[in-house]
Structure 1
Amino acid sequence: MGKTLKDIKFSVLDLAPIKEGSNATESFKNSLELARHVEKWGYNRYWVAEHHSMPGIASSATSVLIGYIAGGTSKIRVGSGGIMLPNHSPLVIAEQFGTLESMYPNRIDLGLGRAPGSDQLTARALRRYPSDGNDFPELVEELSTYLKSHEETRLSVRAIPGEGLAIPIWLLGSSDFSARLAGSLGLPFAFASHFSPDYTVPALNTYYNSFTPSDKLKQPYAMVGVNIIAADTDERAEFLATSSQQQFLSLIRNTPTQLKPPVPNMEALWTTYEKSIVQKQLKASIIGSEETVARKLQAFLDETQADEIIINTQVYSQTDRLRSYEIVKKIVM
């Protein structure tokens, strides 16, 4: 018998959107307000994502934002979805998350990705040296070693705070590379179905087939990201979704913008070719009323058999964003 929506956990992925006509200060206030609401509603974790040089995303200093969210909440897990590890020294990330875990014990997650979270010019400014992500396994191993106890490693260079702390490490991916690595290391895996839907099931199968039990995890554990925009009617949800569509349209045009207000009709904004690209990238999105979302979300779970689903809701109005997560809460909790 397959899983039902009440069998699994649900979490929140926040890109800290900067709305057109607004700023990062308001974005962070909105993120904290959302975190407090979803904590009250019973969501499991609240993750923020590392992106750089994007006018519509405020979560570039990801560790700092995690501390802000964790400090303003009391029990929900808070973490990175993810830290793009090739952008950073593993020692620095070990210290940052060791600091966060010391401040907010047993509440911090460390999700790691291998992409730059930006364009190549920005990646060059961040990294100072070229990287194709192939050294990601070595970086993960180095970071993991810094978090082990000093008695176990006897490292000359130590992560303080950090060493000896039980900070859960997740690997994130939009292909099978990190799926295979997470499986071989016995780590939990999170897949970015919200922007890479075609690879979801193949990547999950790769993870399950390559999984080797570890001292961190005895059975595979997979979380899948999905875009959900829920509203009181299907028509209202479809209208709200045009903000996300405009955001992806700006990305494929290589002209990223702040999150724009919804529009009555996208046809005037995109070409047929652009429409096909955006719709392909967002085809796993779940948009609609409570009844529609419930049906489509169960179908998504039937397909993925995920252990947890993490939800991204990119809409212009904070009121509409809160309402969307509230509707999902009614469905699944």
Structure 2
Amino acid sequence: MSSPSHTIPLSLLDLAPITQGSTATEAFEHTLDLARHAEDWGYNRYWLAEHHNMPGIASSATSVAIGYVAGGTKRIRVGSGGIMLPNHAPLMIAEQFGTLESMYPGRIDLGLGRAPGSDQPAARAIRRGLTAGGHDFPELLSELRAYLDPTREGRAPGVRAVPGEGLDIPIWLLGSSGFSAQLAGQLGLPFAFASHFAPDYLLPALDLYRSNFQPSGALTEPYAMVGVNIIVAETDAQARYLATSQEQQFLNLIRGGTSPLLPPVDDMDALWSAQEKALVRGKFGYSIAGSEETVATRLRAILKETAADELIVTAQIYDHKARLRSFEMLAEIWKTL
């Protein structure tokens, strides 16, 4: 994709969806296929997300999945959107991403979140303490950064990350509220906001990030990436039909359950109550499902409203060919903005 100079980078977030009746093996085959196409279509980065205990998401071992995608592509940046740092020892993440950066130099991103990416039973199984609530995230982050850059303080005495030490691995902070936005600003790190599931907090978080920003060795100016659900199809009706798969996924989460990604349905009103519909639709304030014209119009409004430096898009589409086509059409739309 040869973008006009006035456009910003476009990136892709993949949850490696396991669809009803399929397997994780098929999910990873589809992920690599999409990543290779995304590279050809001009997407800037391809990120995978850490989630646990979810039958519809295959990317729980996120570092492994990143290596698989990076090994099967040539140019596109590959990274985590994100690694949930409280689930891991900082040394282990430094070593894992040091290994990835050593294997695929100049192509690896380390996006970090402070949520568990799981329910409480899974969090206990990961052996993560349930009392911290993410409040120790700044200390964990400081320790991780010190393993990568030994001039910093915070690492365990006498411990080095090999591979990892001395490598320039871009660190992003991810968030769905103000905590990480403020911290990213204070540390001068790039910030990515999960508006694809927390739309109400997007603009306040961006303001908090930019108003707290302090220049650093990583950035001289704020750099904010905004997450958006986008599904493109030939018609608005077709796109809305495809979008019912991700609506069912959110509906199941609201009801306290999880499932593989389900096929689209003709009528969501047969599945949810009015209250559930409002709750699910409330999660999609920064989501677009429509034709090329509809998507382009809404995208222009989002870019103007957020002044985003980069957009990262995701789409939970049941049919792999339809998913490929959606991201291909989006890449074409991006050229016109």
Q: TM-score, normalised by structure 1?
A: 0.97
Stretch deviating more after TM superposition (275-284 or 161-170): 275-284
Decide which of 156, 159, 165 is 1:157's aligned counterpart: 159
> Equivalents in 2 of 1:260, 1:318: separation in Å?
13
1:127 Cα deviation from its structure 2 partner: 2.8
Q: Which amino acid aligns with 2:299?
A: L
Matches within 5 A, 1:90-169: 90-130=90-130, 131-149=132-150, 155-169=157-171
Q: Which amino acid aligns with 2:248?
A: Q
Task: Name the counterpart of 2:42.
Answer: 42
Q: Distance in 2 between matches of 1:113 and 1:322?
A: 27
CA distance in structure 2 between the aligned counterparts of 1:190 and 1:331, rounded to whole angstroms:
22
Q: Match of 1:203, SS?
A: helix
Partner Cα distance (2:199, 2:163) in 1: 38
Query: Which residue of structure 1 lines up, in the alignment, with residue 272 of structure 2?
Result: 270
Question: Does the 8 A contact of 1:112 with 1:171 survive in 2?
Answer: yes
Equivalence for 1:282: 284
Cα distance in 1 for partners of 2:12, 2:157 equals 36
User: Once the 2 structures are TM-superposed, how far is the Cα of residue 151 of structure 1 from its aligned partner?
Assistant: 10
Residues of 1 paired with 2:304 and 2:8: CA distance? Answer: 12
Alpha carbons of structure 1 residues 75 and 139: separation in structure 2 relative to 1, 3 Å: same
- Separation in 2, partners of 1:243, 1:154: 46
Within a 5 Å distance, the mapping from 1:192-207 to structure 2 comes to: 192-207=194-209
2: CA distance, partners of 1:260 / 1:25: 17
Contact 1:85 1:114 in 2 (8 A): yes
- 2:145–2:152 CA contact under 8 A, matched in 1: no
Q: Secondary structure at the match of 1:297?
A: helix
Aligned partners of 1:121, 1:212: CA distance in 2, in Å?
38
- Indicate if the aligned counterparts of 2:146 and 2:152 stay in contact, CA closer than 8 A: no
Cα displacement (A) at 1:5: 9.4
For 1:226, the equivalent position in structure 2 comes to 228
Q: Which amino acid aligns with 1:238?
A: R
TM-superposed CA distance for 1:154, in Å, is: 10
- Mapped partners of 1:245, 1:7: distance in 2: 30
Q: Which residue of 2 aligns with 1:68?
A: 68
Structure 2: gaps of 5 or more residues: none
Q: What is the distance in 1 between the residues matched to 2:332 and 2:126?
A: 42
- Aligned-pair CA distance for 1:283: 2.2
SS of 2:126's partner is helix
Tell me which residue corresponds to 1:55: 55
Could you list the structure 1 runs, at least 4 aligned residues long, displaced by more than 4 angstroms after superposition. 149-155
The C-alpha deviation readout for 1:208-264, integer Å capped at 9, x for no partner, is 000000011111100000000000111100000000000000000111000000000
Letter paired with 1:64: V
Q: 1:250 aligns with which of 252, 277, 280?
A: 252
C-alpha deviation, 1:121, in angstroms = 1.5
Deviation at 1:284, TM superposition (A): 1.6
Q: How far is 1:77 from its partner? A: 0.2
CA deviation map 1:128-175 (0-9, x unaligned)? 422300000000000000001479989510000000000000000000
Distance 2:145 2:306 in 1: 29
Number of equivalenced pairs = 330
The alpha-carbon deviation at position 122 of structure 1 amounts to 1.0
Letter aligned with residue 149 of structure 2: K
The partner residue of 1:191 within 178, 190, 193 is: 193
Is contact 2:87-2:128 (8 Å) kept?
no
1:294 aligns with 2:280: no
How many angstroms does 1:326 deviate by? 0.7
CA RMSD of aligned residues (A): 1.5
Inter-partner Cα distance in structure 2 for 1:323 and 1:154: 48
AA matched with 1:141: S
In the alignment, which residue of structure 2 is the partner of 1:215? 217
Q: Is the 8 A contact 2:252 2:258 kept in 1?
A: yes
Letter matched to residue 139 of structure 1: L
Maintained 8 Å contact 2:49/2:83? yes
Q: How many Å separate the matches in 2 of 1:216 and 1:149?
A: 16
SS state of the match for residue 225, structure 1? strand
Any idea what SS the aligned residue of 2:219 has?
coil
Q: Which moved more, 1:192-201 or 1:6-15?
A: 6-15
Pick which of 279-288 and 51-60 moved more: 279-288
Among all aligned residue pairs of Structure 1 and Structure 2, give the percentage whose two residues are the same amino acid.
Answer: 65
What is the CA–CA distance in structure 1 between the aligned matches of 2:286 and 2:87, rounded to whole Å?
A: 29
Write the distance in 2 (CA, Å) between the matches of 1:314 and 1:174: 19
Matched ranges for 1:18-29 at <5 A = 18-29=18-29
Query: Which blocks of at least 5 consecutive residues in structure 1 are unaligned?
Result: none
Q: TM-score, normalised by structure 2?
A: 0.96
